[in-house]
Amino acid sequence: MTAVAQKGTFRISGEIGKLNAPATAYLDYYSAGEKRLDSMKIRDGKFEFTGTFEGIHGAYLMLDHRGKGDPHDVLHVLLQAEPVRLVSKDSIMNAHSEGSQFYASWERLNKQLAQVNAGIRREERALKTSSSNSDNMEKYEALRKKRDKQQKMVYLAFVKDNPANRISLYALDASVNKSKDPEKYTELFATLSDEVRNSEAGKAITKVMHAIKSRGLNKVAPDFTLNDADGKSISLSKFRGQYVLVDFWASWCVPCRNENPHIVQAYEKYKNKNFTVLGISVDKTTMREAWLQAVKKDKLTWTQVSDADNEVGKLYGIQSIPQNILVNPKGIIVATNLRGEALSQKLAEILK
């Protein structure tokens, strides 16, 4: 999850007791829109990771004490321009920062989130030891939703209590989906200090919110042109006269891949009733083969184009995937984020 936009380099170093190889540290993060997993052997308890980031970016620092490729010692960290040094006698999860007031506020937020997670884990353990019930899966799902709700409450409280802290941009992204609830997001963003809102990351968010509002319901969908796998230019305006689902996805996005069967089902049912799909892959150019393989494996037979440079994503204010937009024959946006059965239900309503 990223509070968009300022670009820079990060440095996270640490000292965890006197560990040595084969103990291995890992950093799981995103850079330039691509998922990365960096690793290094620990020497005399020390490690250091450097790289590039965009915005205020969360990542996971993991430690495999035995070097078996199975790191269970995990800490949620923050990637930002100020160097961070973490120390602990025994584990990553117990590490704390040295000399950074800014990072200390992140650790306080993390501690509250950890308390939420610990409470949910206790309930999960209690559920495991109870007699087997056919509705256990439903109970686990209810616990997941409870955890998500409580975490969002923690993030939201941080935003309200820390209007002058740049981490509030990250917490705001974690508590409110700007695409699904732009009004609430804008309202909370306005409560942040002038310094935070006018920071590079804050200005980028303002730009994104403008893009999101410009492609809201009953607005004309902004036109664009992208290339398909064969290099042929495809414009959204080409689909005027049809209902078209503009679907933003990627081969590496598990929720996107899980959503594809629903889109395939809707496409097969309504493709002869003035409906089609325009798939927009946000895979980077280095992922071209993975994109094409995913198209084939998921049986996506409609038009597919590449937005490897995220130009259309920026135009539409797309901050996360999967996302989709349903455009009517006149080019007007009539629905957004139709997930699961919601797509078929909407099409049944309008294509009677």
Give tens-digit pLDDT for 150-207.
Answer: 999 999 999 999 999 989 999 998 998 887 788 899 999 999 999 999 988 888 888 8
Span of 89-93, 97-101, 207-211 with lowest mean pLDDT: 97-101
The verdict on whether omega for the bond into residue 22 sits within 30 degrees of 0, i.e. cis, is yes
Counting beta carbons within 10 angstroms of the beta carbon of residue 209, is it exposed (0 to 12), middle (13 to 18) or buried (19 or more)?
Answer: middle
Amino acid at 207: K
Q: Which residues are catalytic?
A: 256
**Chain centroid to CA 212:** 16
Cα dist. 30→2, 25, 56, 85 in Å? Answer: 9, 17, 11, 20
Most confident of 106-120, 167-181, 237-251, 314-328: 237-251
pLDDT band at 55 (very low <50, low <70, confident <90, very high): low
What is d(CA 216, CA 182) in angstroms, rounded to the nearest whole number?
9
pLDDT band at 133 (very low <50, low <70, confident <90, very high): low
What is d(CA 283, CA 309) in angstroms, rounded to the nearest whole number?
9
| pLDDT of 2 strictly over 70 | no
Asked if residues 208 and 317 have their Cβ atoms less than 8 Å apart, the reply is yes
Sign of the torsion angle spanned by Cα atoms 138, 143, 149, 152 = negative
Using DSSP's 3-state secondary structure scheme, residue 159 falls into: helix
pLDDT of residue 132: 60
What is d(CA 45, CA 98) in angstroms, rounded to the nearest whole number?
16
**Token pair 């999967």 is at which residue?**
322
- DSSP for 195-228, please give it: HHHTSHHHHHHHHHHHHHHHTSTTSBPPP-EEEE
Report the chain's C-alpha Rg in angstroms.
22
Mean of pLDDT values over 134-151: 85
Q: At 166, list the tokens.
A: 């740049």
| pLDDT of 35 strictly over 80 | no
- DSSP for 227-296, please give it: EETTS-EEEGGGGTTSEEEEEEE-TT-HHHHHHHHHHHHHHHHHTTTTEEEEEEE---GGGHHHHHHHHH
Domains of the chain: 2-99 (2.60.40.10), 104-214 (no CATH), 225-350 (3.40.30.10)
> Strand pairing of 96-97 and 84-88?
antiparallel
Q: How many CB atoms lie within 10 A of CB 79?
A: 25
pLDDT of residue 124: 85
